[in-house]
Each structure stands twice: as C-alpha cells, then as structure tokens.
Structure 1
C-alpha cells in the first residue's frame, strides 16, 4: 500500500463528521453565547468566541477532505508536478502547493500535511479532480497527500 493510500484510508472515517464540523462549531458557539447571556458570565462567552472563530475559519477544510476522498475514489489521476513552499515566518509553518499540469491551468493552495513532513521543492505528482470542477481536489507526491485547506486559486 502506498503512503497516500494509507493517508486517504486514515481520513475515511471522518467523512460524515468533516462535512458538517464547522456547523457544529458555530452552533456550539451560539449555544455558549446564549448561556453567557442567560447566566451573565464571561467564561461561556470566551469559549463561544473561540468556537465561532474556529468554525468560521475552517468552514472549507472539512468539505475539502470529503471532496478529496470522493475524487480519489471516482476519478483517474493525471500526472503533473507540485512545487511545495514552506513559510516558517509565523508561529507554525504554513505549506503551499503550486500545481503544474499539462493542458490544465496552474493552481495554488495552502495545505496541512496529514501525517508526513513535506520537503520544499518540485515533486512529481498525481492529481485528482472531482467531475465538473476545474480545480484539483487532491494531489499526491512521494511523501504524502496535499488536500487544499481553502478553495484553490488559479495561478495567473
């Protein structure tokens, strides 16, 4: 079994949960906000703000995981290259992929590595798309998979 097969299989149990996680987080934030108003206490408000921010900021990550697994299961990959860049200027590194494919526009997106350590540079890759979408749903290099954290942007 290839490393990307193992990583995809590790994500499969989260399909049902990942699609709606941001709704649960935002719902929890609303409930905590109501509790802070009812009991006039700041602690539920602090948690409400936290869960609300996380729910809003990660509203695309869960659906992207689901889309990546669907693309992996239902479509054939195309060959291409992925250029990985790593930005270490913040508190934690951020990883960016630039997808190059023949006969396709170039795309860029941020990703979070799932169980592997990316190496900066250009790598041979397999790229999957969902039917009806131009942007890639999943890319796999030798070390692991790259699932977009947010909606990929077309590189001009």
Structure 2
C-alpha cells in the first residue's frame, strides 16, 4: 500500500515511479525509528503509526492520501495540494468459496449487525477511521474497481 501511494505521488510529480528508492519496513514503529534517525527522508504509513511523533513535533505530516479531508487530522489531502493521489487502506471480511447461499446471507447479516453497533462506532472514532463499509454486490463492485487501480500502479512499477 505504501509503495503504491509513493508510486502515484511520483507519477503525479513527473518522476518515473521506478526511479524512487522505496525501502519496505515491517511496521509503523520501525518506520518512525528510521525517520527519526535520518535513515530515510520520508515515508508513508497509517496516521496512527506516527500520530504521537507528529503531536510531539518530532515528525511533520505532509499530506494524506484520502479523497476528502479527515476530521481531527489537520493536514491537507494530496488532492488538495494538486496531486491526484488517493488510495486508502481497507480491510475485507471474506469467507471460503462454496458456502451455501443461506450461510453467506447469515454472515452478511452478522456484518450488518456489527457495523450498526455502538462498539463499531467507538472503534471508528478511537482510531479516526472513515467507515467505508460495503457488503455483498457493492463490496464486489468496489473490489473490482480497486483491483484495476492497483494493477495499473503495479504495471507502472514494472511488475
């Protein structure tokens, strides 16, 4: 995900994405350490990976890859800064193929109940997540749209 955002940003800035030296790290803590030590000059990660260092003034947030501004995060989007870059990290709940229709519908019902719960609302607020939940055909359609975008980015990187 991080490399794809960097590739999009490089392309928008007129830089060949293949020319960007991307170094993968195992997580936000490792990235923050690399940034603070000067091992790397910039990075991409989830806001919560860096929020404490940003709030302490040790790191500066340059932009967010969301399509719209995010409540509680006082940083402009890449789009607001003139770069057509928007890619958000998301998760899906999936099941193995071959389930009976009634089992699929039961799982979808459970997911709807979870998404309507106060617990889910608290998780969204605590983590400053946007709720982009999709179920069924809406999820399948969105997944196909995302696949096309991701495939295009990987092609730009030569994969």
TM over 0.5: no
Give the shorter-chain TM-score range: under 0.3
TM-score by length of 2: 0.21
Structure ranking higher in helix proportion: 2
Structure ranking higher in strand proportion: 1
